[in-house]
C-alpha cells in the first residue's frame, strides 16, 4: 500500500488514488522532475533533499535554470529569507476582475475571488528559489460558508429572534442571551482552528503540503479560560493568553511530516505589556505599536522548524508608520490602494523575517491531512480573519 503524494490518502493499491484520482507514478515523476531540473538525475520520491546551511539548494526546474546547480540561496551564516515577488499592480488587476465578476454574479464569485487573491499572494511568495502554492478552491469556500450558515448562523439567529417575537418572559430571554454569548465564545475558537486547518492544508511548497493537527477541544479550553482570565485580570492576562494561542497554532502546524515548534512563555510579555499600558495615553496610543512589534519578534523568535530558528527584526517605529500610512492610504483612496497596502505589508513582514540554521529537509515526506472549509466559512461569517495565516 502506497501513500498518495498529492492528497496523503494512505491506501493506494493501484496507480490511481481512490481519494483524489491522481495517477500516483505520474504525479511523483512530475514532482521529481520539477525538483531536479533538466539534465539532473536522482531517485524518485516525495521527500526533499537536505539543504545544509550555506549550500546550494535544488529549485524547481525553471525557464532560466540550466542543468548546473543554482547559486546558494542562503548566505555564509546560513540565513534564509522568504521573498514576496508580487506587485501592487498585479493584485489590483486581480481585485478589479474580482469586483466586476462579484457584481455580475450577485456576490457568488466572492469565494472564487478570495481564492484568486490567496493563490496570487502565495504563488508570489518565494523561499529558496521556489514559490509556495495555494490549492484551495472557490467551491470549497462556498460550501464551507453554506455549511457555516446552516449549522451555526441560522439556529443562533432563530434562538435570538424567537424569544423577542413571542414575548418570552424576561428570565428566559436573559438565559438565552447568556447561552448565546457562551455559544459565541465557543464558536470563535472553533472557527479559528477550522480556518487554520483549512488554509494550511491547502498550502504547499515544493509539492509538499502543510497541515494543522491541533484538536478543537484543546483550543476551546485555552480560549475560554484565557478570555475569562483576561476579563478577571482587567486585561493583564492578555499577553499570556496571546502566547498560548500562538503556541497552539504554531506547535500543531506541520510541513509534510515535520512539525513546527514554539517555546515562548506568556509571562515574558507581561512586562512589555504593562509598560505599553502605562505609556499608552502619554504616547497617544503609539506604545501599542511598540508592544506589537515586541510581541511579533517574540513570537517569531520562539518558533522553530527542526534545527532552524526564525528571526524577526520588526521595530515599533516602522510598524507604526506602516500601519498608519496604510490606513491613511485606504481611507484617502476610498479603498483603491488596498492592494498596495497588502503588498507593502507583506514585503515589510518578509523583509524582517529570516531563518537561521541548517535547513534539514531530509526525511520530510508528504503527509497531507483532509480538512473541510467549514471553519473557514465560519470565520468568514464572524468576519474574523484572526491573523493566523
Partner 1 sequence: MRTALRVLSPGPRRRLLALTLAAAAAFFLIALLVQLGVPIEAEWRVQRVAQAARAPALEAPMRAVSLLGSGWLLLPVAVAGGLVVRARHPGLAVWLVATGAGAGIAANLAKLLAIRQRPNTVAWAYPSAHTFGIVVFVVLLLYALWALGATAGRRWPALAAGAVLIAAVGLSRLYLNAHWIGDVLGGFTGGLAFALGAVLILDRRVSG
Q: Which of 1, 14, 66, 165 binds partner 1 (CB under 8 A)?
A: 66
Instruction: Verify binding: residue 30, partner 1, rule CB under 8 A.
Output: yes
Q: Which is nearer to partner 1, 320 or 343 (CB)?
A: 343
Applying CB under 8 A, which of residues 10, 21, 42, 335 lies at the interface with partner 1? 21
Q: Per CB under 8 A, does 45 bind partner 1?
A: no
Exactly one of 116, 197, 209, 258 binds partner 1 (CB under 8 A); which one? 116
Q: Is residue 130 at the binding interface for partner 1, with CB under 8 A as the rule?
A: yes
Of positions 97, 182, 307, 370, contacts partner 1 by CB under 8 A: 97
- Minimum Å gap between C-beta 167 and partner 1 is 50
| From 2, 19, 23, 350, residue interacting with partner 1 (rule: CB under 8 A) | 23
Whichever of 120 and 260 has its CB closer to partner 1, that residue is: 120
CB of 60 to partner 1, least distance (A): 5
27 contacts partner 1 (rule: CB under 8 A): yes
Please identify which residue in 15, 26, 228, 317 interacts with partner 1, judged by CB under 8 A. 26
Nearer to partner 1, 81 or 297 (CB): 81
Of the pair 61, 180, the CB lying nearest partner 1 is at 61
Site track for partner 1 across 69-88, x = CB under 8 A: ----------------xx--
Whose grid coordinates read 515586541? 294
Residues forming the site for partner 1 (CB under 8 A): 21-23, 26-27, 29-30, 33-34, 38-39, 60-63, 65-67, 85-86, 90, 93-94, 96-97, 112, 116, 119-120, 123-124, 130-131, 133, 137, 139
Amino acid at each position: 500500500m502506497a501513500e498518495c503524494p498529492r492528497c496523503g490518502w494512505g491506501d493506494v493499491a493501484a496507480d490511481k488514488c481512490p481519494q483524489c484520482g491522481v495517477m500516483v507514478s505520474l504525479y511523483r515523476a512530475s514532482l521529481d522532475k520539477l525538483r531536479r531540473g533538466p539534465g539532473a538525475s536522482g531517485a524518485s520520491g516525495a521527500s526533499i533533499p537536505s539543504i545544509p546551511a550555506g549550500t546550494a539548494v535544488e529549485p524547481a526546474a525553471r525557464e532560466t535554470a540550466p542543468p548546473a546547480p543554482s547559486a546558494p540561496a542562503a548566505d555564509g551564516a546560513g540565513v534564509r529569507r522568504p521573498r514576496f515577488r508580487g506587485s501592487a499592480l498585479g493584485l489590483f488587476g486581480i481585485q478589479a476582475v474580482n469586483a466586476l465578476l462579484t457584481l455580475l454574479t450577485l456576490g457568488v464569485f466572492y469565494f472564487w475571488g478570495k481564492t484568486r487573491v490567496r493563490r496570487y499572494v502565495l504563488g508570489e511568495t518565494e523561499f529558496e528559489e521556489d514559490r509556495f502554492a495555494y490549492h484551495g478552491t472557490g467551491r470549497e469556500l462556498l460550501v464551507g460558508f453554506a455549511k457555516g450558515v446552516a449549522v451555526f448562523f441560522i439556529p443562533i439567529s432563530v434562538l435570538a429572534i424567537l424569544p423577542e417575537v413571542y414575548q418570552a418572559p424576561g428570565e428566559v430571554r436573559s438565559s438565552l442571551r447568556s447561552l448565546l454569548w457562551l455559544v459565541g465564545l465557543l464558536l470563535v475558537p472553533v472557527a479559528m482552528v477550522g480556518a487554520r486547518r483549512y488554509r494550511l492544508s491547502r498550502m504547499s511548497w515544493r509539492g509538499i503540503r502543510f497541515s494543522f493537527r491541533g484538536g478543537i477541544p484543546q483550543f476551546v479550553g485555552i480560549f475560554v479560560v484565557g478570555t475569562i482570565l483576561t476579563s478577571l485580570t482587567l486585561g493583564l492576562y492578555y499577553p499570556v493568553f496571546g502566547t498560548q494561542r500562538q503556541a497552539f497554532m504554531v506547535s500543531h502546524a506541520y510541513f509534510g511530516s515535520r512539525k513546527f515548534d514554539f517555546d515562548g512563555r506568556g509571562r515574558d510579555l507581561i512586562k512589555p505589556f504593562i509598560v505599553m499600558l502605562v505609556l499608552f495615553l502619554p504616547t497617544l496610543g503609539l506604545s501599542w505599536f511598540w508592544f506589537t512589534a515586541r510581541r511579533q519578534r517574540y513570537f517569531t523568535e520562539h518558533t522553530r522548524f527542526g534545527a532552524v530558528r526564525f528571526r524577526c527584526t520588526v521595530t515599533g517605529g516602522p510598524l507604526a508608520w506602516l500601519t498608519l500610512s496604510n490606513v491613511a492610504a485606504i481611507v484617502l483612496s476610498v479603498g483603491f490602494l488596498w492592494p498596495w497596502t497588502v503588498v507593502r505589508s507583506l514585503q515589510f513582514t518578509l523583509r524582517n523575517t529570516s531563518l537561521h540554521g541548517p535547513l534539514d529537509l531530509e526525511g520530510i515526506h508528504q503527509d497531507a491531512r483532509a480538512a473541510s472549509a467549514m471553519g473557514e466559512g465560519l470565520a468568514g461569517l464572524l468576519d474574523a480573519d484572526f491573523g493566523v495565516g
